[in-house]
A and B are shown apart, each in its own frame.
Chain A
Amino acid sequence: DVKVTQSSRYLVKRTGEKVFLECVQDMDHENMFWYRQDPGLGLRLIYFSYDVKMKEKGDIPEGYSVSREKKERFSLILESASTNQTSMYLCASSLMGSSYEQYFGPGTRLTVT
């Protein structure tokens, strides 16, 4: 079974803090993704990575950065958290190429106060 894990299920941070969300997959997948999911807006892609040290912006990269130093690990960084970044953050991974299904981690519900 594909396993994608995320560092926290729930996180509460203050405005202006730097926040790190980590994602690890154990299936040797090339692609990794970070999404946020908000009611009525569906899944929105923040960043994705198709190889170590490679990254591409998704639909809503502003206010976020990512790091992929190892194939199995993909980190999402909120440089200075703001209240409008309160959301559910989902990490996913897949084999190389968009034709392959994505497997999701359990999600991190982040609240910024």
Chain B
Amino acid sequence: QKEVEQNSGPLSVPEGAIASLNCTYSDRGSQSFFWYRQYSGKSPELIMSIYSNGDKEDGRFTAQLNKASQYVSLLIRDSQPSDSATYLCAVPEGVRDMRFGAGTRLTVKP
């Protein structure tokens, strides 16, 4: 069974700081990677996807992928209290399934 590992946290950062969330995966053949945000009591929502090595930026969010190290990260710049949530890393497994990490809980303190 392929694994997706995340530090469960909690990760606490002050408002305005950069939050760095990390994810490692075991399947070297993985080609696409996703970050989901889940607020307490709500369902996961997709916030970023990345398919090639390097960085992908979307507003305050940057996804970083290093396939050689089997490592994907999410940076949140100028963190806001509204960013407080659990962030799930997801990596496709096989031809149909998706493997989710357990999630990292982020708290942004005003």
Contacts and interface: CB of A to CB of B under 8 A. Distances in A.
A and B held together in a complex: yes
Interface of A: 31, 33, 40-43, 45, 48, 50, 56, 58, 90, 94, 97-99, 101-107
Contact of B100 (A31, A43, A56, A106): A43
B49 interface: yes
A102 B88 CA distance: 12
B97 A48 contact: yes
Nearest to A102: B98
Contact of A50 (B44, B92, B96): B96
B43 A101 contact: no
Given A42-B100, A48-B97, A107 B42 contact: yes
Among A41, A98, A103, A104, residue most surrounded by chain B Cβ atoms (within 10 Å) = A98
A4 to B, nearest CB: 9
B102 interface: yes
Contacts, number: 50
B100 A99 contact: no
Interface size class of B (residues with CB under 8 A): 20 to 34
Given A98-B94, A99-B31, A42 B46 contact: no
A31 B95 CA distance: 11
Interface in B32-69: 32, 34, 42-46, 49
Given A43-B88, A99-B92, A101-B34, A106 B42 contact: yes
Nearest to B86: A42
B88 A97 contact: no
B74 interface: no
B100 A48 contact: no
Given A41-B102, A98-B93, A98-B95, A104 B44 contact: yes
B90 interface: yes
